[in-house]
Amino acid sequence: MGDTAGMDPQSATDQELVAHALEAPQAYRWIVERYSPRLLRYARRIGCRTEQDARDVLQETFIKAYINLRSYDADLSFSSWIYRICHNEAVSWFRKQRVRPQPASSDEELFALEEVADPRAFLEGIEQTLNRERLTKAMQAMREEYREVLVLRFFEEKSYDEIADILYKPPGTVATLINRAKKQLAEILQDSPL
Amino acid sequence: MNTHDFSQDILAKIEEQHLEPRPRWQVLVMRAAWWALACVCLVFGGLAFASVLFFAREQGWDAWVARPHLATVFELIPLLWIGAFVLLIALVYLDVRATRRGYRYPGALLVGGILVGSALLGTAVYGAGLEAKPHEFLRERLPGYESTVPDPPLVWHRPELGRYAGMILATTTEGFVLKDVEGDEWSVRVATSSRWLLPTPPAANVRLKTLCNQVSTTAQLILVEARPLYRAPRPVLERALDRRLRPESLREYQNEPRRFPKERTMPEMLRDNR
């Protein structure tokens, strides 16, 4: 019993977990366990080079999320809310460390095409034959703001509205950024040797 | 990564640092504070806009007609107020962007809305006849403001451009004697082509601003156009002008026999205006 009070944490909604964590702090671990794997991958995709760096960012993310748990409102999806905190913490971390956000080249799993939910949309305008190594190198070489939106759209499977909520930008701007990001990706792939 | 261990680490850190979720009332106060700040900046933006209208109306439009040039705009509408307006608009924009849903509005729409809001507010202040109040308030209370943003008559007064502001000391058969805001006296001839746009005919103690042509190198002017010094009564600003015009000199003038002002050469006038 303890931190669940009869609730099944696996099937509970995010809002139910939040409400429960506010009553019983130990229940916060269910939120951490639900989101830590995907946020870890997200942090690495947007530029944390090592797993340790990503864990540091993640720790700050969950601490901050806990402190601000009462500011979460149900009109925003919890996923978008916590992704936003993770994004902001990653950006702060890069600034503090004075490093350029760049995903590690060694981890080709981060940008495996198999991870993309809608590969046709992702590859529209880009060559259809793409191996992991080329894609990873191309994603590394992209501008940060373009890589961010591509990661959120195609690897994290977020909608335009969710990306707008995460990045604190108007939805129209998100659409423009995604178009530009795909153009840049196509150019980088065209210039890179096969 | 072992998610269970990681979550235990997080909980341990929360307990170790005695962390707690921020109270809901604090969250609501912070949200309200952003909106309150945006509203305050919008109101001040409206006052800045009203001040811009005040300066534009008091002298800008007339001077623009006399010399339509972009430089005239910046000469006659103080950069301080234009800068304040732009800065306040930027602050409102940033405040709204920082609110819960403010980021969703397209930038151009947001800026346009803020500009329209400020302009409407400023126009309402102007319509209520309060457009000079911000300038008067700062003039009386902020050290250094007066030297940075002179009153409209002082800005209008540019003898080298044929613009004179001041007070009629006395009327003459040909026109009147004008004492300008710098203390110089001029004999002004009213010609048949002169435009007199004041509600009353020339008389002593009337305050006005003029466009004149200078006769050769003398202190004689031919009136082109005369307008009231202010569009509406401005007691605070006119009291400040009184200190410059020193009305006791009017009484001195009336008590002494009429004499023609001393003629000054152009080099003397240019030297004194420097």
Nearest to A75 by CA among B33, B31, B36, B14: B31
Q: What are phi and psi of B106, to 5 degrees?
A: -60, 145
End-to-end CA distance of chain A: 57
Instruction: Give the ipTM of the model, two decimals please.
Output: 0.83
- Cβ-based neighbours of A106, under 8 Å, separated by 6 or more: none
CB atoms within 10 A of CB B230: 22
Nearest to B264 by CA among B213, B230, B221: B221
Element containing residue B215 per DSSP (H, E): none
> Distance (Å) from the C-alpha of residue B40 to the closest C-alpha of chain A?
24
pLDDT for residue B241: 81
Given a cut of 80, whether residue A82 has pLDDT beyond it is: yes
Q: Is residue A175 less than 8 Å (CB to CB) from chain B?
A: no
pLDDT for residue B263: 46
Q: What are the start-end ranges of the H helices in B19-142?
A: 24-55, 61-66, 70-76, 79-97, 107-127, 133-141
pLDDT for residue B265: 44
Nearest to B50 by CA among B140, B133, B112: B133
Nearest to B223 by CA among B155, B164, B160: B164
pLDDT for residue A54: 92
What CA–CA distance (Å, rounded) separates A111 from B81?
Answer: 53
pLDDT per residue rounded down to tens, chain B (274 residues): 788 899 999 999 999 999 999 999 999 999 999 999 999 999 999 999 999 889 888 876 666 666 777 777 777 778 889 899 999 999 999 999 988 889 999 989 999 999 999 999 999 999 998 999 999 999 889 998 988 888 888 888 888 888 899 999 999 988 999 999 988 899 999 988 899 989 888 998 899 999 998 887 677 899 999 988 887 778 888 888 887 776 554 445 444 444 444 444 444 544 554 4
Is the distance from CB of B210 to CB of B165 less than 8 angstroms? yes
pLDDT for residue B237: 84
Please report the number of interchain residue pairs, chain A to chain B, with beta-carbon separation below 8 angstroms. Answer: 76
Q: Which residue has the tokens 């301080």?
A: B80
**Option in B19, B24, B103 nearest A169 (CB):** B103
Please state the three-class secondary structure of B228-272 as a single string.
Answer: ECCCCCCHHHHHHHHHHHCCHHHHHHHHCCCCCCCCCCHHHHHHH
Over residues A72-93, mean pLDDT: 92
Given a cut of 60, whether residue A170 has pLDDT beyond it is: yes
Q: Is residue A52 less than 8 Å (CB to CB) from chain B?
A: no
B100/A66 touch (CB, cutoff 8 Å), yes or no? no
Those residues of chain B whose CB sits closer than 8 Å to some CB in chain A are 1, 3-4, 6-11, 13-15, 19-24, 27, 97, 100, 103-107
Given a cut of 70, whether residue A179 has pLDDT beyond it is: yes
pLDDT for residue B216: 72
What CA–CA distance (Å, rounded) separates A24 from B79?
Answer: 58
Nearest to A141 by CA among A92, A186, A102, A193: A102
pLDDT for residue B256: 46
- Cβ-based neighbours of A103, under 8 Å, separated by 6 or more: A44, A45, A46, A47, A48, A49, A110, A111, A136, A139, A140, A147
> Distance (Å) from the C-alpha of residue B48 to the closest C-alpha of chain A?
29
> Distance (Å) from the C-alpha of residue B270 to the closest C-alpha of chain A?
58
B103/A168 touch (CB, cutoff 8 Å), yes or no? yes
Given a cut of 50, whether residue A5 has pLDDT beyond it is: yes
The per-residue pLDDT for range A9-25, each reduced to its tens digit, is: 788 899 999 999 999 98
Q: For residue B1, what are the CA distances in angstroms to A70, A88, A155?
A: 28, 22, 20
Share of chain A above pLDDT 90, in %: 51
With cut-offs at 50, 70 and 90, classify the pLDDT of residue A117. low
A49-53, A69-73, A136-140, A188-192: which is most confident: A69-73
**Option in B6, B11, B19 nearest A26 (CB):** B11
B1/A36 touch (CB, cutoff 8 Å), yes or no? yes
What CA–CA distance (Å, rounded) separates A146 from A181?
Answer: 5
**Interface test mutation site (partner B, options A44, A66, A160, A168, max chain B beta carbons within 10 A):** A66
Q: Is residue A9 less than 8 Å (CB to CB) from chain B?
A: no
- Cβ-based neighbours of A60, under 8 Å, separated by 6 or more: A89, A92, A93
In this prediction the pTM is 0.75
State both tokens at A42. Answer: 């997200």
With cut-offs at 50, 70 and 90, classify the pLDDT of residue A163. very high
* Chain B residue numbers touching A169 (CB-CB < 8 A): 103
What CA–CA distance (Å, rounded) separates A79 from A165?
Answer: 10
The per-residue pLDDT for range A147-159, each reduced to its tens digit, is: 999 999 998 999 9
Q: CA dihedral defined by B86, B92, B95, B100, rounded to 10 degrees?
A: -140
What CA–CA distance (Å, rounded) separates A140 from A2?
Answer: 45
**Interface test mutation site (partner B, options A40, A51, A67, max chain B beta carbons within 10 A):** A67
Interface of A with B in 57-96 (CB under 8 A): 58-59, 62-63, 66-71, 73
